[in-house]
Amino acid sequence: MSVEPGRTCAPDKALKQQRWDRLIASKQVVSTFAVMLENGELVSLHLTQAQAEGLECLTCKRQCETGQGAFRPVGHIPSVGSIFECVACLDGAR
């Protein structure tokens, strides 16, 4: 397969995964966030930046997958975004 002059090939799956892993690793600093839960309760939680940005499960820190690893919103952090738990944690499997 040829590539037009001046264009680069799309990164392969391994390179994409490596970049994603680096992104997640860079967001492991824990901070305190004011979280508005789905039930309207405002709580203060210690979360990693990845959890606060919705990239990891709030409970087990797993990244979003399919099936039991799929995410459901459980609240939001004003000016940051939604936070999530995976289906397995919500169902008590973990």
Average pLDDT value for residue range 55-64: 89
Parse the chain into domains and list their residue ranges.
Answer: 13-90
- What is the reported pLDDT for 3? 61
Q: Comparing 46 with 13, which gets the higher pLDDT?
A: 46
Average pLDDT value for residue range 64-92: 86
CB environment 27-45: b (16+ within 10 A), e (fewer): eeeeeebebeeeeeeeeeb
Side chain identity at residue 46, one-letter code: H
